Amino acid sequence: MAKKRVCGACTACCKTHGVSEIKKLPGYLCAHCTIGTGCNIYKSRPQSCKDFQCDWLKGFGRKGQRPDKTGVVLDFVIGEVLRELFQMWEAIEGALGRRFTKIITRDILEANIFVAHLYLSGKRVLFIPRGKILHADTRKQLVEEGVEISSSFRF
Ligand code: SF4
Ligand code: SF4
């Protein structure tokens, strides 16, 4: 059986993700984080920090592709609107343009799952797989929220 993965020195999601309990915004390093060491309030960290597990931690991808190495935090979510959505959060500027990101994006789209690229700049792009249609109301709402929508992913 494969060895259980651990975060180790990775703190990528402490930058990419928002933490509502402490009003931490996405894309900014948490004030309680020391890069390469971890959380300074580990024992009393918010519940959402305790709950969060990126997909690398759950076993997706190769062992050496830990998010602090690839610069991308992978986060598959099930929601009411899009149902299955594979989120790719940029932890290191430029990482969403890397080959690693492109290969995963292509493969997930081929599996007929929506993919979102979430940049440190705040830019958000939703890629629609070929076999899915985005309802007009959903599209309108996303565009109003500033999400860019793309039906074609260029590898
Ligand atoms: S991005 Fe994944 S591996 Fe890195 S600290 Fe967060 S949960 Fe752990
Ligand atoms: S509270 Fe701790 S675990 Fe949560 S984002 Fe901040 S540094 Fe990371």
Does the residue 94 lie in any domain? yes
| In the predicted structure, residue 29 carries a pLDDT above the cut 90 | yes
Check pLDDT > 90 for residue 33: yes
Give yes or no for a contact between 8 and 67, defined as CB atoms under 8 angstroms apart. Answer: no
CB distance 54 to ligand 1 below 6 Å? yes
- Asked whether 91 lines ligand 1 (CB < 6 A), one says no
**Most informative mutation of 13, 17, 19, 28 for ligand 2 (most atoms within 8 A of CB):** 19
Residue 155 within a domain: no
In a domain, 104, yes or no: yes
Q: How far is the CA of 50 from the centre of ligand 1 (A)?
A: 11
- pTM for the whole thing? 0.95
* Confidence check: pLDDT of 69 > 80: yes
In a domain, 8, yes or no: no
- Whether 76 is covered by a domain: the verdict is yes
Specify if 20 maps to a domain. Answer: yes
Average pLDDT over residues 8-12: 96
Residue span of the structural domain in which 39 resides: 13-150
Ligand 2: centre distance to CA 41 (Å): 7
Tokens of 129: 């797989």
Angstrom CA distances, 9 to 37, 39, 72, 74, 97, stand at 6, 10, 15, 17, 24
Count structural domains, the chain: 1
Residue nearest to atom 4 of ligand 2 (CA): 49
Residue 3 within a domain: no
pLDDT of residue 100: 95
Q: Give the C-alpha distances (Å, rounded to integers) separating 124 from 53, 96, 98, 148.
A: 21, 11, 16, 6
- Torsion angle (degrees, nearest 10) of CA 55, 56, 61, 65: 150
Assess if residue 91 is contained within a domain. yes
| Ligand 2 residue neighbourhood (C-beta within 6 Å) | 14, 19, 24, 30, 32-33, 39, 41, 45-46, 49
Q: pLDDT digits over 122-143, tens only? A: 999 999 999 899 999 999 999 9
